[in-house]
């Protein structure tokens, strides 16, 4: 599961978030300053216009008064004096307004006072002129002089107003300049920051999106894992427990309910509630195990019985382990329903006991065969040997024949018992494998059969045989039986020729009946030119007591080849027979390298 | 002057076997004196009875009631005054285990009871003509089991 990248991106997202907030704050503060400066300059502009307006107003009213009194001088018509009469109040009103507008502007206040002086001078001059005209105390020459003086003052007023207007303009311009310096940079930086923020946001969006995909995938995987675990629990008939060893909090998986034969969540899964399902005689096991785990940190496998809700008895096995990380220690446990396994084991044990019993019976049968059957037989034979030696002459011809028949039967029985004992010994004997030279074992076998070989005038040819890890005396017995068989079933009047061949078979050349294809095998075959047999009997001849021929034709107990088969099996090998009537037989033994 | 007969003792619970044994020695033309006991307990009583002359060769059946041949063998080998008796195991079976055990416990020769009277005679004759000096000094696992 991909947990790490998500942790990393959590850190990344936090950083992006902090960065974004810082940038937003920065952009806001710039915007605020910008707007504030804009407001200030617009206020300043308005103020400057107001000042200019009042100044122009004053000038224009003064001009009206002057124009009026000039008209009066020329026409002596009082109509022209109308503006002059109201001008003083209006000018004073404007003065008050200007005074208020320039309240904190010391130079402008001074200028305003100078302007007011000049205006009063002008108005005084006009008043004097008009008074002189009314009183007729003024000459035309004086009027002309007064007009000239008035013009002078008027020029000064204009200059003063211009000066004031310039001053007002210069304040605004200076402010405007400062504002422009400040503000010109901000739109660009705001834009850059905005673009940058946008980029950061887009990047984080992409990143978050990606993480979401990974997270979804992880979630999906987690879901699948959880689902497969709970399915596995159902199939495997187990439930799990998790216990935090610090908090002692214990969590059971849901399959608990199923294994206890309860509806899911039909009770609260706690240790105490669980214990009520445990067989009363086994509760101490569960309690002790929990204590051992908690106190000594032991995690031993243990078994106990459960009584399901419906009363069915089940066998449970519990085991677990501790998982530690730096923060906590956790006990992970598995509790498995092993009832089937347990019952199988019980049945198996029962069958084992039965088998042991029957093996014991077989062994005692062997004892009977070896001792108790041999004993009377030996006596019969000995007594007959006494009769045939000492009293033969006293018997009738029939009697002598019967004695011979008894002798022959007894010796057949002797062979049968010996062969049976040999067969059971082959079954039972300790299987001591040792490296043995098969050539040597074959030689020993030939020595054992020397008398027969000589009697039958047989020729035995042998290929070079390998050294193998075998039970030596059994392989020797195998050779004795196979060669003995070949001698026994030779064609009357024909000298037996027996060939012993050896072939190494690699894995791919193995015959189909060899299931273990990993090993290499030696195929050792004994073939003869004897009477042979029909191929259909090839498997039957290995069965105990199975004989193909009349007892009178060929002596034999039908045990020899069974012993051979047993020996091959003891070596995890195989034996097969191939025959053709009148041509011969071949017995092949397959022994693993 | 006639030589002293070879004293032979057989411990065997089987009446027929005692008969064959006795008859075989009757037919062997060697001067022997054969005594018979019926089981291990009788054997030990016989040996411990100072009135009886100790045998030169003891033939010991293994499978006897009350006290088995092996038990007798163990007891005999622990008694110093019985040490010189040559012991021939005379048993129906010739299991590897019996052969091994009696050899280890110090028996001198192991005879499997034959099923032919002539063979029996030959074997018994061979046993009593063995040079026991040689047989006991060179204890040999290979020729311990006597065969013809």
List of residues 6+ apart from A161 with CB closer than 8 A: A55, A56, A58, A59, A115
Q: Check whether A490 has a pLDDT greater than 60.
A: yes
In this predicted model, what pLDDT tens digit does every residue of A135-184 receive, in sequence order? 888 888 888 888 888 888 888 888 988 888 888 888 778 877 877 776 66
Instruction: Kindly determine whether residue B120 and residue A378, on different chains, have CB atoms separated by under 8 Å.
Output: no
Name the pLDDT band for A121 (thresholds 50, 70, 90).
Answer: confident
Q: What DSSP state is assigned to residue A295?
A: I
In this predicted model, what pLDDT tens digit does every residue of A532-552 receive, in sequence order? 888 888 888 888 777 666 655
Q: Check whether A453 has a pLDDT greater than 50.
A: yes
| A241 and A206 in a common domain | no
Probe site for chain B from A377, A378, A392, A424 (most B CB atoms < 10 A): A378
Probe site for chain B from A372, A373, A382, A411 (most B CB atoms < 10 A): A382
Percent of chain A with pLDDT over 90: 21
State how many domains chain A has: 3
Of A290, A311, A337, at which residue does a domain stop? Answer: A337
Percent of chain A with pLDDT over 70: 94
What's the CATH code of the domain at A548? 3.30.565.10
Instruction: Please tell me the least confidently modeled range out of A104-118, A321-335, A418-432.
Output: A418-432
Instruction: Kindly determine whether residue A375 and residue B116, on different chains, have CB atoms separated by under 8 Å.
Output: no
- ipTM, two decimals, is 0.81
State how many domains chain B has: 1
In this predicted model, what pLDDT tens digit does every residue of A434-448 receive, in sequence order? 899 999 999 999 988
Position A351 scores a pLDDT of 94
Position B8 scores a pLDDT of 93
Position B76 scores a pLDDT of 92
Check if A379 contacts B (Cβ < 8 Å). yes
Residue A585 domain flag: yes
Position A283 scores a pLDDT of 92
Residue A73 domain flag: yes
Position B120 scores a pLDDT of 92
Phi/psi at B90 (5° precision): -130, 95
Residue B1 domain flag: no
List of residues 6+ apart from A287 with CB closer than 8 A: A275
Residue A389 domain flag: no
What's the CATH code of the domain at A323? 3.30.450.20
Q: Which domain holds residue A318?
A: 237-337
Q: Check whether A6 has a pLDDT greater than 60.
A: no
Over residues A324-346, the mean pLDDT reads: 88
Position A245 scores a pLDDT of 82
Residue A361 domain flag: no
Which residue in this structure is represented by tokens 């004892």?
Answer: A367
Query: Which chain B residues touch A if contact means CB-CB below 8 Å?
Result: 14, 16-17, 20, 23, 63, 92-93, 95, 113-118, 120
Using a CB-CB distance cutoff of 8 angstroms, which residues of chain A are in contact with residue B113? 378
| A559 and A445 in a common domain | yes
| A328 and A293 in a common domain | yes
For CA atoms B67, B73, B77, B79, the dihedral sign is: positive
CB-CB contact of A163 with A113 (8 Å)? no
Residue A547 domain flag: yes
Mean model confidence pLDDT for chain A: 85
Position B142 scores a pLDDT of 65
In this predicted model, what pLDDT tens digit does every residue of A49-102 receive, in sequence order? 888 888 888 888 888 888 888 888 888 887 887 777 778 788 888 888 888 888
> What does the alpha-carbon distance between residue A52 and residue A39 come to, in Å, rounded to a whole number?
20
Over residues A242-258, the mean pLDDT reads: 87
Q: Check whether A433 has a pLDDT greater than 90.
A: no
Position A392 scores a pLDDT of 82
| A260 and A199 in a common domain | no
Q: From the CB of residue B105, how many other CB atoms can be counted at a distance below 10 Å?
A: 14
Residue A371 domain flag: no
Q: Which domain holds residue B139?
A: 6-146
Of A308, A337, A366, at which residue does a domain stop? Answer: A337
> How far is CA A226 from each of CA A233, A387, B137, rounded to the nearest angstrom?
10, 92, 83
Regions of chain B short of the pLDDT cut 70: 1-2, 131-142, 147-148
Using a CB-CB distance cutoff of 8 angstroms, which residues of chain B are in contact with residue A381? 115-116
> How far is CA B73 from each of CA A488, B84, B101, rounded to the nearest angstrom?
44, 13, 10
Q: Check whether A230 has a pLDDT greater than 70.
A: yes
Strand partners, A278: A306
| A139 and A284 in a common domain | no
| A496 and A541 in a common domain | yes
Least Cα distance to B8 among B49, B52, B48, B58 occurs for B58
| A572 and A467 in a common domain | yes
Check if A249 contacts B (Cβ < 8 Å). no
CB-CB contact of A209 with A13 (8 Å)? no
In this predicted model, what pLDDT tens digit does every residue of B1-33 receive, in sequence order? 457 888 999 999 989 999 999 999 999 888 889
Measured at the alpha carbon of residue A56, what is the angle toward residues A50 and A59, in degrees to the nearest 5?
Answer: 145
Instruction: Kindly determine whether residue A382 and residue B63, on different chains, have CB atoms separated by under 8 Å.
Output: no
Give the DSSP per-residue string, A494-532. S--EEEEEEEEE-GGG--TT---TTS-EEEEEEE-SS--
Of A302, A337, A372, at which residue does a domain stop? Answer: A337
Position B59 scores a pLDDT of 95
Probe site for chain A from B24, B61, B116, B120 (most A CB atoms < 10 A): B116
Q: Check whether A133 has a pLDDT greater than 90.
A: no
Position A3 scores a pLDDT of 45
What's the CATH code of the domain at B142? 3.40.50.2300
Q: Check whether A423 has a pLDDT greater than 70.
A: yes
Residue A405 domain flag: no
> How far is CA A562 from each of CA A438, A481, A547, rounded to the nearest angstrom?
21, 10, 11
Name the pLDDT band for A588 (thresholds 50, 70, 90).
Answer: very high
| A325 and A454 in a common domain | no
List of residues 6+ apart from B76 with CB closer than 8 A: B47, B58, B82, B85, B87
Residue of A nearest to B97 (CA): A429
Residue A512 domain flag: yes
Position A551 scores a pLDDT of 57
């Amino acid at each position: 599961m991909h947990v790490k990248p998500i942790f990393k991106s959590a850190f990344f997202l936090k950083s992006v978030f902090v960065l974004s907030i810082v940038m937003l704050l920065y952009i806001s503060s710039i915007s605020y300053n910008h707007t504030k400066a804009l407001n200030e300059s617009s206020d300043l502009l308005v103020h400057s216009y107001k000042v200019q307006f009042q100044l122009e107003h004053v000038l224009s009213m003064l001009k009206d008064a002057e124009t009026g009194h000039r008209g009066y001088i020329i026409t002596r018509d009082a109509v022209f004096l109308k503006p002059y009469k109201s001008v003083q109040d209006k000018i004073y009103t404007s003065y008050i307004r200007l005074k208020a507008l320039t309240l904190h502007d010391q130079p402008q206040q001074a200028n305003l006072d100078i302007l007011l002086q000049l205006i009063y001078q002008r108005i005084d001059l006009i008043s004097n002129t008009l008074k002189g005209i009314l009183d007729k105390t003024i000459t035309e020459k004086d009027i002309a002089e007064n007009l000239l003086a008035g013009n002078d003052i008027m020029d000064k007023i204009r200059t003063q107003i211009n000066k004031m207007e310039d001053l007002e303009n210069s304040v605004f311009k200076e402010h405007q300049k400062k504002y422009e310096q400040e503000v010109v940079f901000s739109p660009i930086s705001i834009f850059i920051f905005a673009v940058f923020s946008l980029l950061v946001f887009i990047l984080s969006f992409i990143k978050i999106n990606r993480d979401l995909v990974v997270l979804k995938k992880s979630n999906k995987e987690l879901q699948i894992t959880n689902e497969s675990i709970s399915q596995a629990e159902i199939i495997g008939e187990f439930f799990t427990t998790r216990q935090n060893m610090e908090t002692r909090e214990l969590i059971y998986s849901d399959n608990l309910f199923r294994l206890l034969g309860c509806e899911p969540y039909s009770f609260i899964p706690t240790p105490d509630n669980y214990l009520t399902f445990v067989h009363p005689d086994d509760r101490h096991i569960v309690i002790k195990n929990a204590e051992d785990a908690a106190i000594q940190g032991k995690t031993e496998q243990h078994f106990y019985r459960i009584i399901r809700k419906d009363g069915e008895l089940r066998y449970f096995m519990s085991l677990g382990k501790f998982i530690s990380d730096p923060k906590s220690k956790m006990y992970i446990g598995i509790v498995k329903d092993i009832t089937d396994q347990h019952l199988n084991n019980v049945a198996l044990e029962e069958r084992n006991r039965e088998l042991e019993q029957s093996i014991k019976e077989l062994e005692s049968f062997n004892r009977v065969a070896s001792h108790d059957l041999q004993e009377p037989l030996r006596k019969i034979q000995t007594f007959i040997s006494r009769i045939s030696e000492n009293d033969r002459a006293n018997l009738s011809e029939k009697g002598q024949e019967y004695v011979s028949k008894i002798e022959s039967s007894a010796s057949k029985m002797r062979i049968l018992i010996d062969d049976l004992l040999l067969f059971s010994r082959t079954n039972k004997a300790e299987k001591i494998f040792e490296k043995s030279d098969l050539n040597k074992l074959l030689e020993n076998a030939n020595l054992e059969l020397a008398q027969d070989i000589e009697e039958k005038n047989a020729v035995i040819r042998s290929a070079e045989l390998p050294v193998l890890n075998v039970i030596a005396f059994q392989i020797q017995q195998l050779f004795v039986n196979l060669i003995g068989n070949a001698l026994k079933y030779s064609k009357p009047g024909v000298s037996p020729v027996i060939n012993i061949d050896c072939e190494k078979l690699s894995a791919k050349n193995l015959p189909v009946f060899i299931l273990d294809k990993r090993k290499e095998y030696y195929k050792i075959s004994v073939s003869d030119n004897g009477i042979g047999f029909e191929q259909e009997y090839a498997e039957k001849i290995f069965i105990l007591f199975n004989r193909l021929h009349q007892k009178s034709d060929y002596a034999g107990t039908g045990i020899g080849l069974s012993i051979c088969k047993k020996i091959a099996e003891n070596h995890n090998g195989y034996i097969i027979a191939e025959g053709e009537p009148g041509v011969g037989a071949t017995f092949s033994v397959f022994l693993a390298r | 002057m006639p030589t002293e007969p070879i004293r032979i003792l057989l411990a065997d619970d089987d009446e027929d076997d005692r008969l064959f044994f006795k008859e075989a020695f009757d037919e062997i033309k060697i001067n022997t004196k054969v005594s018979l006991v019926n089981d291990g307990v009788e054997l030990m009583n016989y040996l411990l009875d100072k009135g009886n002359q100790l045998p030169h060769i003891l033939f010991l059946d293994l499978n006897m009631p009350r006290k088995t041949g092996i038990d007798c063998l163990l007891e005999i080998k622990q008694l110093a005054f019985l040490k010189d008796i040559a012991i021939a195991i005379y048993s129906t079976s010739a299991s590897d285990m019996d052969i091994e055990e009696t050899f280890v416990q110090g028996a001198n020769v192991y005879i499997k009871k034959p099923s032919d009277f002539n063979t029996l005679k030959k074997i018994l004759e061979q046993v009593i003509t063995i040079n026991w000096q040689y047989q006991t000094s060179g204890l040999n696992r290979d020729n311990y089991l006597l065969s013809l």
